[in-house]
Copies of this chain bind each other. A is one copy, B any other.
Amino acid sequence: MSTTIQDVADRADVSVATVSRVLNGSDRVRENTKETVVEAARSLGYHPNETARNLRAQETRMIGVLLPNMHGEFFAQVTRGLDQRAREYGHHLLVSNSHTQEDEAKSVIQSLLGRVDGLILLWPRLSHDFLGDLVPEGLPVVLLNTDRSTSRFQTLAFDNHDGAYAAVEHLAEHGHERIACLSGGTQNFDAQKRLAGYRAAVADHDLIADPSLEIEGDFTREAGRAAVERLLNLTPRPTALFASNDSMALGVLRGLHEAGLEAPDDLALVGFDDIPMAHYVAPSLTTVHAPMKELGERAIERLLALVQGDASPSHHTLQTRLVRRESCGCTPEP
């Protein structure tokens, strides 16, 4: 098998305890023996067995991360934040993406349970009552973009309501009165909040409030593309659209192109998330910036605080801000 601390000890002609001391805090060890040990370890290509270490230390320094199977760029950003912070804190990420089903997620969580110090779940479905039974009492959990009220766990979410409100308000400032909303479905937490923000802005600014202006999507590009036809068939036709995420907004742009139309002239458009691609499409996408990387960073910070026991679960919200580009009718920011 692999070389063990015993092999190193034999080679250096000392005890395993001494080797261990050298390799770790290098306690009180004679300089001479220290060198011998280091050399022995090096020459044997020794690497400590982390599994044994973990067992001994009663911690794995691993964090389980569950992400749903969706909108690539969004998760890439979140993951970047998670990854970076985790490394800073000397922890590893045990990642599992690409599952949509609840039972699938359950089995993944099960298989993670005995091997991580904590869990970070991006689980935008409203209901996660099942988590209560699934997760053992003491295990720290951070829930991302989900409903705070249902949960005894730490949560972290964007300020979806404010962001959506600002988006619609901005379209109103451009003079639009008949503004449609492409929502992300009824099951999704972010989607619900954004829809609520849209409705609030419509009400506050005396815009046309008409249920047929609310089109249901599912946060995928294809939903955006498909929505265009429905949008164009509305009478009277809306002059602006709030797409409740950027993936759908990109799909809308594509759909418009296929119909021989263009934003913002034929339809003013604002998205949500500010994924990197929003900057690169033509026309560039005005959108609500959601601090995705920061979400990942905070998640790690909160989780490790829970792990170390110097915090208890709380509920945090991350602010969003509107980024003006071309698709709404603005001249883009420099």
Contacts and interface: CB of A to CB of B under 8 A. Distances in A.
Interface in A259-274: none
Contacts of A97: 79-80, 83
Nearest to A69: B80
A277 B251 CA distance: 10
A87 B79 CA distance: 19
Interface residues of A, number: 59
A182 to B, nearest CB: 15
Nearest to A282: B257
A210 to B, nearest CB: 29
Number of identical monomers bound together in the oligomeric complex: 2
Given A75-B76, A98-B80, A282 B280 contact: no
Interface stretch (A50-58, A143-151, A152-160): A50-58
A48 B114 CA distance: 6
Contacts of A175: none
A314 interface: no
A29 interface: no
Interface in A82-100: 83-84, 87, 90, 92-98
A62 B137 CA distance: 25
Contact of A76 (B72, B93, B257): B72
Contact of A45 (B62, B136, B283): B136
A94 B92 contact: yes
A114 B79 CA distance: 24
Given A225-B280, A254-B281, A51 B111 contact: no
A113 interface: yes
A2 B282 contact: no
A125 interface: no
A115 B50 contact: yes
A254 B282 CA distance: 6
A89 to B, nearest CB: 12
Interface string A199-238: 0000000000000000000000100010000000000000
A319 interface: no
Nearest to A326: B257
Contacts of A277: 250, 277
Contacts of A110: 47
Given A80-B97, A254-B281, A92 B111 contact: yes
A76 B76 CA distance: 7
B83 A96 contact: yes
B114 A53 contact: yes
5 contacts: A47-B136, A84-B98, A95-B95, A253-B280, A254-B282
Given A49-B55, A72-B72, 9 more contacts: A2-B138, A62-B94, A69-B80, A76-B76, A80-B98, A84-B98, A92-B111, A94-B94, A221-B276
Interface of A: 1-3, 45, 47-55, 58, 60, 62, 69, 72-73, 75-77, 79-80, 83-84, 87, 90, 92-98, 108, 110-115, 136-138, 221, 225, 250-251, 253-254, 257, 276-277, 280-284
